[in-house]
Amino acid sequence: MPLLEARDVHGGYGGMNILNGVNMAIEADEIGVIVGPNGAGKSTMLKAVFGLLTVSQGEILLRGEPIHNLPPNKLVQKGMGFIPQEKNVFPSLSVKENLEMGAFLKPQNTRRMLKQVYDFFPPLYDKRHQPAGELSGGQRQMVAMGRALMAEPELLLLDEPTAGLSPLYMNEIFERVKEINAAGVGILMVEQNAKQALAIADKGFVLAAGQNRFTDTGAALLADPEVARSFLGG
């Protein structure tokens, strides 16, 4: 049974459909990457998975259990973590407090997970008492990822984690995503840096106009000349 499965998902905001039948499936140990041109519905699909958007047709299953239109806090309980693209930290809370909020539903795990997250992102330990709003973009992304990891999710959703970051941080974030996945967390992420993202992807979903254009393994999509020509800039 796939960890996450989406079947013919339709949905959008205020009666206007952005998703017109998206299908995807990822296994528990896989990295799934959604790429595609602007306005293809990439982030919208991620929001639909996380219950931030009304799914009007089709279904989304987590380990075979329908989850579409459940509120986010229920999905967190079911083992899903979400890292939005923007505003992904609590700016006036300290780094440590940000992380603690990630374990809000499992307070008994806070101490153990804090140690794990600090080990995973050493810079956060040094800045643990600093307000997250004062950190650089890359460190803020680490706080955001750390916060999501605090809940020990089975599936982590990342919306453009490298947007606006310098190439140095970009590589670091991709490395970290790979490591998180290697630790047994399923990943579904939306990325603008399609080539780099597909390079680490087990599954790639190329969306256009709210529908799947290509669905294959990351490597196969990278090798496909048609995908390269139309979506990866040659």
Partner 1 sequence: MNELVFFINNVVIAGSVTGSIYAIGAVGVTLVFSIMRFAHFAHADMMTFGAFMVLLLTAAFPGVGAAVGLPTAIVMLPLAMVLTALLAVGIDKAFYKPLRAHGVKPIVMVIGSLGVTLMLQGLIRLFAGTSGQSLYIGERKEIFRLALPFEGVRAPIVITEPQIILFVLTFACVVGLHLFLNRSRLGKAMRAMSDNPDLARASGINTNTIVAVTWVIAGGLAAIAGTLLSLDVTFKPDLSFFLLLPIFAAAIVGGVGHPYGAIAGGFVVGFAETLAVFNWAVLLRPFRDSLPEWLAQAGNLAFVGTEYKIVVPFFILVAILVWRPTGLFKGKVI
- In this structure, the strands spanning 80-83 and 65-66 are unpaired
Name the minimum Å distance from CB 73 to partner 1: 5
Whether 197 contacts 181, CB under 8 Å = no
Quick check: 191 binds partner 1 (CB under 8 A)? no
- For residue 23, which phi and psi values (nearest 5 degrees)? -120, 135
Residue number with CB closer to partner 1 (24 or 144): 144
Q: Which residues of 115-132 are buried (b: 16+ CB within 10 A; e: fewer)?
A: ebbbebbeebeebbeebb
Residue span binding partner 1 (CB under 8 A) among the ranges 1-9, 32-40, 86-94, 192-200: 86-94
Quick check: 104 binds partner 1 (CB under 8 A)? yes
**Interface pick for partner 1 out of 14, 16, 64, 87 (rule CB under 8 A):** 87
Report the C-alpha dihedral over residues 190, 213, 195, 53, rounded to 10 degrees. -10
Quick check: 231 binds partner 1 (CB under 8 A)? no
Quick check: 137 binds partner 1 (CB under 8 A)? no
Helices H / strands E in the chain, number of each: 10, 10
The residues of the shown chain that bind partner 1, judged by CB under 8 A, are 50, 71-73, 76-77, 82, 84, 87-93, 97-98, 100-102, 104-105, 107, 147, 151
